[in-house]
Amino acid sequence: VLPVLAVVGRPNVGKSTLVNRIIGRREAVVEDKPGVTRDRVSYQAEWAGRQFTLVDTGGWETDVAGIDASVAKQAEIAIDLADAVLFVVDATVGPTATDEHVVKLLRRSKKPIVLCANKVDGPRAEADAATLWSLGLGEPHAVSALHGRGTGDLLDAAMAKL
């Protein structure tokens, strides 16, 4: 059985784009609109010679109403099955109330967490990523899932916790 890395975060932060980047394919469905139903959630991935299962929690439908409750429920399911959590935040938006809520759930779980500051497409957005230190999860790993920037360092950090 492979270790499980679960990708958690609000809709539209770039979870599926990051998953596509990591698996090197275009299978995870990327949608511009939040809350769009997606079916494929689980992928076999490899980094630095290690195999693991990558789970895109945004692909789960939940029976709860509203984005906040839905993201919280997805985080709870992810925590249950994950060996480590890759928490994705949109650095261009900064930490939202929903992000803070998910952080509480993640911290309570005591699962290892790697913080991904996504949408850092260029050097000017580095400062945006730095604001995510306030989440109290340690270093925000600046990444552009769209362009591939920083994903190697992010995966190194994830493997160290998996």
Both tokens of residue 159? 């493997």
Kindly tell me which of 29 and 137 has the beta carbon lying closer to ligand GDP. Answer: 29
Q: Between β-strands 113-118 and 50-56, what pairing exists: parallel, antiparallel or unpaired?
A: unpaired
Close Cβ partners of 133 (under 8 Å, ≥ 6 residues apart): 139, 140
Q: 149 pairs with which residues across the strands?
A: 144
Q: Which is nearer to ligand GDP, 50 or 126 (CB)?
A: 126
The site map against ligand GDP for 43-72 (x = CB under 6 A) is ---------------x--------------
Beta strands in 48-100 (DSSP E): 50-56, 84-90
Told to check if 16 binds Mg ion by CB under 5 A, we report: yes
**Stretch binding ligand GDP (CB under 6 A), from 14-22, 43-51, 71-79, 152-160:** 14-22
Cβ-contact 70, 28 below 8 angstroms: no
- Give which of ligand GDP, Mg ion, none residue 112 binds (C-beta under 5 to 8 Å, depending on kind): none
Q: Is there binding between residue 140 and ligand GDP (CB under 6 A)?
A: no
Cα 40 to Cα 61: distance, rounded to the nearest angstrom: 11
Which range, of 26-34, 97-105, 130-138, 153-161, touches ligand GDP by CB under 6 A?
Answer: 26-34
Q: Six-digit token pair at 156?
A: 């190194």
Q: Which secondary-structure segment (H or E) carries 94?
A: none
* Residue nearer to Mg ion on the CB measure, 61 or 156: 61
Residues lying near ligand GDP in the complex (CB under 6 A): 9, 11-17, 30-32, 58, 118-119, 121, 144-146
